[in-house]
Structure 1
Amino acid sequence: MDKKKTQWQKGCGCSTFGQNASTNKNILIIKWQRLIFEGETCPRCGSTDKELDKAVSILRQSLAPLGIEIVLEKEELPVSKFKKDPLQSNRIWINNRLLEDWIEGGVGHSPCCNVCGPHECRTVEVKGQVFEVIPAEMIIKAGLTAASQLL
């Protein structure tokens, strides 16, 4: 019997979602989208940015020993898109799934600030509590839940 593996048996070498074939690391992609207007963002998005950085740092430290790499992508939401749908701002996805889906939360809205104008901005609701700023603890919980599916 030929012990030489065919390309099919070895795998094609391309990455599959959530895994980097070249390093055999699992990848957790965290993507955040927020409004940027004339180089500024609103206070709640600014605070979420700080919370997100804190959460990503903790997730990296916690998940690295398990071979899980965290990739953070921050995207600007143009004003034109924000005006059409303000709830697109301050959204976080973890491996292409919205944060609130990972934590059994919901989405709401509330008035924000001058940067956002008359539009009501996105909030996250969990167990009856409304969050205008997405706290690090919530991001960590969602990240750990998502990471558990990579193991």
Structure 2
Amino acid sequence: MKDLTIEWRHYDKEGATCIRCSATGQSLEGVIAGLRDELSPQGVRIVFTETRLTEERISESNLILLNGIPLEELLAEAQASENTCQSCSCLTGAETSCRTIEFEGKTHEEIPADLIRAAAYKALGLR
């Protein structure tokens, strides 16, 4: 059996996270369910870990690691960036920036399902 370990890191304050991380989490949940259905017959086990971050590690918020590799490193045209996150700013009480993913000229504040799926397949060496 082959494992695909997916770790999602996001800021958490007393059980609350920002709007963009929440949307990423929902996309991730759907992708993981689909990957389990598609890949378990091929002997692939999906292992999911959610890491809740404190304010001191907020720069890692909205990071997805696949077998220990950041999503943006798996996708040739993707790169990590950041911009101001109003939702995190409300949670922290100060202006705060969150990670974004730039892919093919578009900035994604919430990481879309198609990028997560593509990175998962790349991490496994599948097309």
Match of 1:144 in 2: 121
Q: What are the equivalent positions in structure 2 for 1:27-42 lying under 5 Å apart?
A: 27-42=3-18
Secondary structure of 2:25's partner? helix
Match of 1:103 in 2: 75
Q: Which residue identity is paired with 1:90?
A: N
Q: What are the equivalent positions in structure 2 for 1:17-96 lying under 5 Å apart?
A: 25-82=1-58, 86=59, 88-96=60-68
Query: What is the rounded CA distance, in whole Å, between the counterparts of 2:62 and 2:109 in structure 1?
Result: 9
Moved more, 58-67 or 108-117: 108-117
Identity %: 31
Greater radius of gyration (CA): 1
Query: What is the rounded CA distance, in whole Å, between the counterparts of 2:27 and 2:57 in structure 1?
Result: 24
Match of 1:115 in 2: 91
Moved more, 58-67 or 89-98: 58-67
Higher relative contact order (CA 8 A, sep 6+): 2
Superposed CA RMSD: 1.2
Secondary structure of 1:71's partner? strand
Q: Which residue identity is paired with 1:103?
A: L
| Deviation for aligned residue 1:148 | 2.1
8 Å contact from structure 1 (residues 33, 75) kept in 2: yes
Which protein has the bigger helix share? 2
Q: Any gaps of 5 or more consecutive residues in structure 2? A: none
Count of aligned pairs: 121
Query: What is the rounded CA distance, in whole Å, between the counterparts of 2:109 and 2:54 in structure 1?
Result: 20
Moved more, 110-119 or 62-71: 110-119
Moved more, 107-116 or 53-62: 107-116
